Structure 1
């Protein structure tokens, strides 16, 4: 089902379009769109279930060195990949209170990624899928990247300002997340929807370097 949807994902609705910046690659974006469309085509309940399953997988990936090693090892045989996926599915099933079987859509996604040697891109796929689900739920996720953690007061003021934008006014809720990246040097980079507002010192340094190169 997922592979069939990959061919038509570029023609999907506005909810099913995300920028390359939000996915690890163009390929990851296609998988994100495909799994989103496949889940929503069944029902909103299925979309919520797949969302929860992929969230569990992402959390497990961060906590388990074994699963992380499995995901990022492209040299595994087909037999080892199948065994690794079986372990992943069992982990996802065990995380829920009802111990429900993993949905076919989640199984198909991870299996196709594994078979195509793209399992290492799963973080980008999940990130893109989460963005689509947020859009579907009327949520606007705003990422503020800074060289050092921002205070709650600054984040609160940023959130108030963002809520006045046309993009935020269309959303039911606005969620602001602060990410730390020392390469920003100073200032901030704000990502929301398909927009990026780069107010960082690194951006100014990059522009200066480009200007100097042209003048040489």
Structure 2
């Protein structure tokens, strides 16, 4: 299914270029995504990135702002209806159009045409349920585009601003920053109640596990070995 779908999607990316009066036949140009993303959501994210940057950097940043606003709207207390919308692939044309309008009006100002086209393609192909994965992929490409190094800090509960500030200061003065080769650290916060407490820090394929769950598991292992 994915193999049959992919060519059609890539073709739609070229259509985005024509609709935005950019150079035709962008597929033969030198604009490429800064890294390869896995899976179908990654293909959507990469095509949106290439279509936006093929126009200009300002358009790329506008699409990024659009997608961030949509992500925030989905995560908000009022986002339940939007979540229901994107998770339902059986909606009729009228319902789908109304839902897309609401989704795309999440940010400040009018969403870029490339953002509109991305979600139109997702809707037409019954892939709106991949919205958050597509946005995550686009953000990953933007991190690479800016030469940033992403550090993911996971906690059991949301961290307050003072704690976040202390963690950021510590990380920027740590070996993690030194290993980044002078690149800017982009610190992303995630919440996972399963770690029970403490922190888990992921950086460049490495993990520093300072969680309570990890300590409990190690203790259980020691106890089982002693029996």
TM-score by length of 1: 0.72
Aligned pairs, number: 191
Cα offset for 1:203?
Answer: 9.4
Aligned partner of 2:181 in structure 1 is 169
Larger RCO: Structure 1 or Structure 2 (Cα < 8 Å, ≥ 6 residues apart)? 1
CA distance in 1, matches of 2:90, 2:214: 38
CA distance in 1, matches of 2:141, 2:12: 15
CA distance in 2, matches of 1:31, 1:177: 22
Larger radius of gyration: 2
Please tell me whether the aligned partners of residues 141 and 176 of structure 1 are also in contact (alpha carbons under 8 angstroms).
yes
Match of 1:135 among 134, 144, 155: 144
Cα offset for 1:147?
Answer: 3.5
Secondary structure class of the residue paired with 2:150: strand
Aligned partner of 1:50 in structure 2 is 63
CA distance in 2, matches of 1:81, 1:164: 48
CA distance in 2, matches of 1:204, 1:17: 37
Aligned partner of 1:76 in structure 2 is 91
Aligned partner of 2:74 in structure 1 is 61
Q: How does 1:1-216 map to 2 (within 5 A)?
A: 3-4=10-11, 13=32, 15-18=34-37, 20=38, 26-63=39-76, 64-89=79-104, 91-92=105-106, 95-96=107-108, 99=109, 101-147=110-156, 149=159, 151=163, 152-161=165-174, 162-165=176-179, 168-171=180-183, 173-185=184-196, 188-193=199-204, 195-199=205-209, 200=211, 201-202=213-214, 205=217
CA distance in 2, matches of 1:56, 1:38: 19
> Which ranges in structure 2 are unaligned for 5 or more consecutive residues?
1-7, 14-26
After superposition, the CA RMSD in angstroms is 3.4
Please tell me whether the aligned partners of residues 145 and 190 of structure 1 are also in contact (alpha carbons under 8 angstroms).
yes
- Superposed CA deviations along residues 45-92 of structure 1, whole A, max 9, x for unmatched, are 110111111112222222333222211222212332122213333x24
CA distance in 2, matches of 1:180, 1:102: 29
Secondary structure class of the residue paired with 1:138: coil
* Distance change (3 Å), C-alpha of 1:79 and 1:140: same
TM-score by length of 2: 0.69
